[in-house]
Amino acid sequence: MNIILIGYMGSGKSTIGKKLSQILDFEYVDLDNYIEEKEKNTISGIFKTKGEIYFRKIEKKYLEEVLILPNSVISLGGGTPCYGDNMKLITEAEDSKSVYLKASIPQLVMRLKDEKNKRPLISHLKSEEQLVEFIGKHLFERSVFYNQSNVTLSVDNKSVNSIVEEVILQLF
Ligand code: S3P
């Protein structure tokens, strides 16, 4: 079985995914890292040199590859479910469950404000006010995709261990 973690940038997909995979003794796959290894470039580097359209194209190709790996916890990029028919691929993937790690706007702003340089989509935003406005709109647009996940879990003010426990309780 595969567990697919979905959520906005900064929602904790990688941290939760790693811990969950250790507890379940599953493989851990981070789609962003997978892309970076295959393309021999960082995500920011790919955005800079080849642009977002190229990134979305290869993101889909690599998504298809990771969805067929056995017994894995897979963390997707924040935008992965929101392009083309990616969410359909995710929901129809064999023996898989998707989990939306749902964080509120204030929580996301808090987690992302010092990490802008790693995230090409928000690196141009100058003030915290701009970040709040951007995330608010972006999350609203993306929620229609995220909400198609099998399970939705609120992650605000919860410890990694309690989120991992909740995921396990919901899925098994
Ligand atoms: C993106 C999120 C990033 C990465 C890329 C685009 C997005 O992943 O895939 O920068 O569109 O939200 P994380 O959610 O792991 O930061």
pTM of this prediction?
0.98
Q: Which residues of the chain have pLDDT under 50?
A: none
Query: ipTM score here?
Result: 0.98
Q: Is 111 annotated as a binding residue?
A: no
Does the CB atom of residue 9 touch ligand 1 within 6 A?
yes
Q: Is 14 annotated as a binding residue?
A: yes
Compute, in angstroms, the gap from residue 170 CA to the centroid of ligand 1.
25
Does the CB atom of residue 79 touch ligand 1 within 6 A?
yes
Looking at residue 118, what is its pLDDT? 86
Domain residue spans of the chain:
2-157
Q: How far is CA 36 from CA 14, 31, 43, 62, 123, in A?
A: 15, 9, 6, 11, 19
Does the CB atom of residue 17 touch ligand 1 within 6 A?
no
Does the CB atom of residue 111 touch ligand 1 within 6 A?
no
Q: How far is CA 154 from CA 29, 66, 83, 99, 109, in A?
A: 22, 25, 23, 10, 16
For residue 14, give the ligand 1 atom closest to its CA. 15
Residue nearest to atom 12 of ligand 1 (CA): 78
Could you tell me which CATH class the domain 2-157 is placed in?
A: alpha beta
